[in-house]
Chains A and B, each alone.
Chain A
């Protein structure tokens, strides 16, 4: 009997125990679990699990030299996110005036962010695929080589949250509105983890912040 680990929240699926609450009888082998089964803790898909005792992936340490000139200017959307984050940073230092001012800048640049020609959920899904297949792997390599702990943390959380969004998008494609029916939708204010379900876990499965730091996204009927 084997064990499988959720790469998002570290939930362990033990073939001996199964997942009776999720309709998986004890003794069910991994390959016999239906493809639409999800992690009972965080909602990750079956493909986000790895067999236990797998040796951790070692990041390649290839270095690319990048000069200052290679760094393009920040777009309006990026400036908006940068300023909204600085606004939060000021609030945490109890600098309310500065927090409001950064927020003004964030709102301004948000209003100037133009729409893209891509406008479907499937477009988001393909962007995430690109992030997961190349973006995060390259960030991991670069941050590991530079021993940049902050960026490694952003990598760890960001990759997990991206996987969750990707999983939600493919589930929505199959189940459509039923996915959210009778469920609550919450977003973790700290790492962006999206929870779809009936009851929030005590702490965020990705960044481990207590669940009072989640914001509920309600269905609004126009």
Chain B
């Protein structure tokens, strides 16, 4: 599924430009770039106030089966309408009376539409259907009158066939790539924290060169991780990102860490119990701070944060001591 814009409905509100994660809507032609458009993402569809954007499927359902009896009756009528169209067109081209020409032109146009509709229903509704491909192939295989635009028929057949194959492939590789982007994001994120830990260790040991190399590489992995995360379509508006952050922190303090603490207690790993407990309590604070900001997202008042370097607690005023791990307030880092 990729997005398309109905230019006659578009009222140029341009919200699609702001919400599109890949810039697919930012084109000179007024149409959405199908190569950049993320399959089924629909952020632009939902954001557009004039309902000008919709998703078109890559793969259409097969042509509905038609019985030969129905096809026969449709064809009998189509033959008659084609004949009426031609008679009317000849009158419209040759009559001396302009009023008669006007009426004949309308009748000719009307009969073309009637014939089109009857033939469409006789099994040729979708351009990419097998019936249409067979028809084109049949035209190419049989003798056609002089001037037959063979190139056009060949090109059409090629595009229609390729579309079907490419879209099947794309659909599969798109899904695989999305999975890979998130796997790479997880790996790069872990590498960043791992190298940061290694860098601190090297610093404590007084190995400044190793500390520096670990630090710079950690930053490099952050660059990779962020890019991959963005391409996977997980960076939205700040309000959306706040909601996502609240979701993650809440899951951690309500579900993940309580289970971990229980397991660490059972294993009698006191250090892990303390680390998980500190983290659980800090995540709860984080979720609350995110929620406060989301509730007052338009508030422009300046704010200062103080970070506890031991447990990750965050306070808005420098405390006497950390409410989670009792570290003295003067150790807090100001942001």
Contact = CB atoms under 8 A, between A and B. Distances in A.
Interface of A: 63-68, 70-72, 74-82, 84-86, 88-90, 93-95, 97-98, 101-102, 104-105, 108, 111-113, 115-116, 118-121, 123-124, 127-128, 130-131, 135-136, 138-139, 141-143, 145-146, 148, 150-151, 153-154, 157-158, 161-162, 165, 168-169, 172, 177, 179-181, 185, 187-194, 215, 217-222
B152 interface: yes
B82 A81 contact: yes
B119 A78 contact: yes
Contact of A165 (B76, B102, B110, B145): B110
Interface in B154-180: 155-156, 159-160
Contacts of A74: 119
A95 B87 CA distance: 32
Given A93-B127, A94-B56, A187-B113, A135 B70 contact: no
A80 B282 CA distance: 72
Interface stretch (B90-98, B183-191, B217-225, B272-280): B90-98
Contacts of B297: none
Nearest to A76: B145
How extensive is the interface on chain B, given as a class? Answer: 35 or more
B320 interface: no
Contact of A82 (B83, B119, B126, B148): B119
Contacts of B104: 121
CB-based closest 10 A-B pairs? A192-B113, A77-B82, A85-B116, A192-B110, A66-B68, A81-B115, A139-B73, A177-B99, A104-B152, A217-B106
26 contacts: A71-B68, A78-B82, A80-B82, A85-B116, A88-B116, A115-B86, A121-B107, A127-B80, A127-B83, A138-B73, A138-B76, A142-B70, A142-B72, A150-B121, A151-B121, A153-B121, A158-B114, A165-B111, A168-B103, A177-B97, A181-B99, A192-B109, A194-B107, A217-B105, A218-B102, A220-B98
B107 A124 contact: yes
Interface string B63-79: 01011111111111111
B317 to A, nearest CB: 57
Contact of A119 (B91, B99, B100): B91
B69 A142 contact: yes
Contact of B112 (A64, A84, A145, A151): A84
A155 B103 CA distance: 24
Interface in B42-76: 56, 64, 66-76
Given A66-B68, A86-B132, A135-B76, A180 B87 contact: no
A138 B69 CA distance: 10
A13 B16 CA distance: 50
A138 B109 CA distance: 24
A9 B132 CA distance: 34
Contacts of B76: 135, 138
Residue among B66, B75, B78, B100 with most chain A CB within 10 A: B78
B117 interface: yes
A96 to B, nearest CB: 9
A150 B125 contact: yes
B124 interface: yes
Given A90-B127, A118-B87, A189-B113, A97 B159 contact: yes
A151 B107 contact: no
Contacts of A75: 79, 82
A65 B101 CA distance: 42
A148 B80 contact: no
Contact of A217 (B68, B109, B115, B156): B109
A158 B77 contact: yes
Given A139-B77, A146-B67, A221-B98, A77 B86 contact: yes
A67 B69 CA distance: 8
Contacts of B64: 148, 150
Nearest to B7: A94
A148 to B, nearest CB: 5
A158 B80 CA distance: 12
